Amino acid sequence: MTGEERATGRNEHVPGADDRAPGADDRAAGADDRAATSAQASVDGRRVLDALLELQDLDTAISQLEHRKAALPERQELARVAAALQDVEARVSQVETSRAVLVERQRALESEIAAATARREVLEQRMYAARGTPARELQAMDDEIRHLRERQDQMEDADLEVMVALEPLDAERAALEAENAALGTESAQLRGALRDAEAEIDAELSVQRVARAAAANAVPEDLRSRYDALRARLGGTGAARLVGNRCSGCHLELPSMEVDRIRHLPPGTVVTCEQCGRILVPTSPSPAGSSSADASPSGSSSEGSSSED
């Protein structure tokens, strides 16, 4: 070794950490990329299922609002008032029919009374003015006047009976007209209240439907179609939460082994409840365990996606 080499001691190669196999850095970088991609896929899958649950919650809220709108107490009260109005109108019709018969009878009697009165007055005037009229003719006129008076008395008695019969019908008609007016006022008030209540619910529905459209856009079309079909078939609930061991859709408990299998699937894996067939989304057992249970469950593998029902 030369003196210069001994002085510097820097030409001697000492193996160390900087000596790496060719391509080692590339392999490490690739592993990091794969890990980041896997983590991102897990996050994206979880977001899809969260969006699906949000879609279900919004659909449930919309259905509840629509049911509330259909079952508004003002609507039921309005139906009651409408039925009462129909009943009043039917009773008025009956009263008017009965009254029309009596009124027609009264009109005929009054016409006959007027005719008899006019005839009697004519005969009486002829008798008072008669001079030199034969007794037989005067007797005939007197008999007819007496008969007309008797007939007039009978018709006036019948007319009085008709008037007596009309009194309760007129009173009932007046009462029904008052009831009809009161019901009409109540109906108008209820229609106004119903319009206000419906407008309030419609405003809520508008907000919920806008939110639903946004949530639906975050769910892939194939999954959304599957959800919609399940929802139509299963009473409005196509996706349910797995809370503990229980499906929130059918409220039945799943076997512990099945629950454990589901909870260890990669986040975003679509599974269904073996009891009811709804899409089942596991929830975190507790806030502290949410990251381990939902974001990167231990022991998960890519084979878990085969459990999609």
CA–CA gap between residue 247 and residue 255 (Å, rounded) = 11
User: pLDDT at position 22, please?
Assistant: 55
Question: Tokens in use for 154?
Answer: 């009978």
User: pLDDT at position 42, please?
Assistant: 56
**220-309: same fold as 70-217?**
yes
Q: What ranges do the domains of the chain cover?
A: 70-217, 220-309
**CATH (residue range 70-217):** 1.10.287.1700
Tell the CATH topology of 220-309.
Helix Hairpins (1.10.287)
User: pLDDT at position 134, please?
Assistant: 83
User: pLDDT at position 34, please?
Assistant: 52
Q: What is the mean pLDDT of each run of 10 residues along the chain (309 residues)?
A: 45 46 53 49 77 96 96 95 96 95 94 91 82 80 88 92 94 96 96 97 97 94 95 95 94 94 90 93 61 36 37
